[in-house]
Chains A and B, each alone.
Chain A
Amino acid sequence: MSEVAVKSRAPREPLFSKKNKRLVTDPLSDNNPVTIQVLGICSALAITVQVKQALVMGASVIFVTMMGNYVISLLRNLIPSRIRIIVQLVIAASLVIIVNELLKAYMPDVSEQLSVFVGLIITNCIIMGRFEAFAMGNKPWPSLLDGFGNGLGYAILLVIVAVFRELFGSGTLMGYQIFGNSLPNEESGLYTIGYVNNNLFILPPMALIIVGIIIWVQRSRNKALIEDH
């Protein structure tokens, strides 16, 4: 893990102290799990074709990182260190199964769209990364905030990539046509003057290129993020 675990010390800290707020805001920009720590890239490639899927996936990951961090933090003094990774994995896996079962029962349409990707949340490195680097050494409340912040940082990046890919790949946002109707023989809007959707945006490599551009922009704005080795 590249980042240093933040140690919480004061026993009577206000719930939203400056330090606790930073736990949520840091992962959104200067310590973003995807662009800075480069974790969870695989799912950022897979489910960013449409904004809606990115939103639900982001929400599911936020739930798992939050709840998982909280539970791990509660158990942190009980977990035997030799099997801690397995324990973390069991907790992450059961939370993901719960999410999957709930989606199937109450949001069957969304569950169908996400299909296998919900199950693949287990393999998202961000989750195990936060469990091991933060929740194992911090109290439940900061851990909950840290999980929320990192989940949100992941979700935001996912949505940014998805906006580009859906807009230029399919000409839609959240399923609504932005540039007009692109179906053959029914063209309207921009498509009548010869605009065509860029199929490359639908293919996974484009997600990597967009993430790369975001990393570039972010590091050129904040030189402190550039590693010099």
Chain B
Amino acid sequence: MAVNRDSNGYTFGFAIALVAVVGTSLALIATGLKPLQQKNEVIKQKMEILRAMLTKEEMKKVDRKNANEKFDQYIDLEKAVVLDINGNVKEGAKAFDVDIRKEYKDKEMKDGDRNYPMFAGSKDGKTIYIIPVVGKGLWGPIWGNLALGEDQSTIDGASFGHKGETPGLGAEISQPFFVNRWIGEKITNESGEFETFEIVKDGSGGKPKKVDGITGGTITSKGVEEMVNRCMVPYAVYFKNNKKS
């Protein structure tokens, strides 16, 4: 064939054709797989919420296949509420539709517009309040769910997740040994005010309001501290106001 492969016309033509072919096929694949991926994400979100309130043994029975029905079994979406930053209930907002990760990323958003969802679940006849939190670790976003017991203050269970923390170091925040350190801590003092937590390195984590961090994962651990301390404030106000009435 007498095509000059070094000519400008051929080079441009090849580049344009390649980009068109590759672009189209990637777009098709991405669109085709989108529904599956979104379904996976919703299921993941439900499992994260369940992981905060269920014990390890109960959680073993939950997998991606039955996550939807288990979620409906434990969580009553009718009782879920959405709060504003001052702890007041936002009428008509749906808790499950609030994307707190997106809101956290949006630096333009006014604090007053931010949504603070809370789910109510029941287990063994007791009400459990599940609060999603979001923050940032060393490499990217971290998130979690804290489950409060019926006294609306004691942490009953928790789950933490991350996007890309270092495996073996910061990524350990999602492991049970770290999560268990939070259980039993109270988010409020006797008068119902929120009290901040502190991540410590010296092993004094047994004391109230102190949680042992992860060796080699200091920045991620500090990220968890900041995340919990920032996100829990509106809920503490909400619980205090609702107790009075």
Binding site for B on A (CB under 8 A): 47, 49-50, 53, 78-83, 86-87, 90-91, 94, 97-98, 101-102, 104-106, 108, 113, 115-116, 169-170, 183-184, 199, 202-203
Q: Say yes or no: B6 contacts A82, CB within 8 Å.
A: yes
With A90-B22, A101-B30: A83-B164 Cβ-Cβ less than 8 Å: no
With A80-B6, A105-B36, A105-B37: A97-B26 Cβ-Cβ less than 8 Å: yes
List the A side residues contacting B164 at CB < 8 Å: 115-116
Interface set, chain B 64-120, CB cutoff 8 A to A: 64
Binding site for A on B (CB under 8 A): 5-6, 10-11, 14-15, 18-19, 22, 25-26, 29-30, 33, 36-37, 40, 44, 64, 139-140, 163-164, 166-169, 177, 215-216
Q: What are 26 contact pairs spanning A and B, CB under 8 A?
A: A49-B166, A49-B168, A78-B5, A81-B5, A81-B6, A82-B6, A83-B15, A91-B22, A94-B22, A94-B25, A94-B26, A97-B29, A98-B29, A101-B30, A105-B33, A108-B37, A108-B44, A116-B139, A116-B163, A116-B164, A183-B177, A199-B216, A202-B168, A202-B169, A203-B169, A203-B216
A203–B64 CA distance with the chains assembled, in angstroms: 33
Q: Say yes or no: B40 contacts A202, CB within 8 Å.
A: no
* Of the residues A49, A91, A102, A199, contact of B167 by C-beta under 8 Å: A49
A101–B25 CA distance with the chains assembled, in angstroms: 12
A78–B44 CA distance with the chains assembled, in angstroms: 45
Query: In whole Å, how far is B49's beta carbon from the nearest beta carbon of chain A?
Result: 16
A5–B18 CA distance with the chains assembled, in angstroms: 26
Q: Say yes or no: B11 contacts A80, CB within 8 Å.
A: yes
Which of chain A's residues has its CB closest to B10's CB? Answer: A80
List the B side residues contacting A113 at CB < 8 Å: 167
A169–B168 CA distance with the chains assembled, in angstroms: 9
Which of chain A's residues has its CB closest to B64's CB? Answer: A108
Q: Say yes or no: A82 contacts B22, CB within 8 Å.
A: no
Query: In whole Å, how far is B159's beta carbon from the nearest beta carbon of chain A?
Result: 13
A106–B15 CA distance with the chains assembled, in angstroms: 32
Q: Say yes or no: A50 contacts B168, CB within 8 Å.
A: yes
A184–B206 CA distance with the chains assembled, in angstroms: 13
The 9 closest A-B pairs by CB, nearest first: A49-B168, A115-B164, A105-B36, A105-B33, A80-B11, A202-B168, A108-B40, A49-B167, A116-B164
Q: Say yes or no: B14 contacts A83, CB within 8 Å.
A: yes
A202–B171 CA distance with the chains assembled, in angstroms: 12
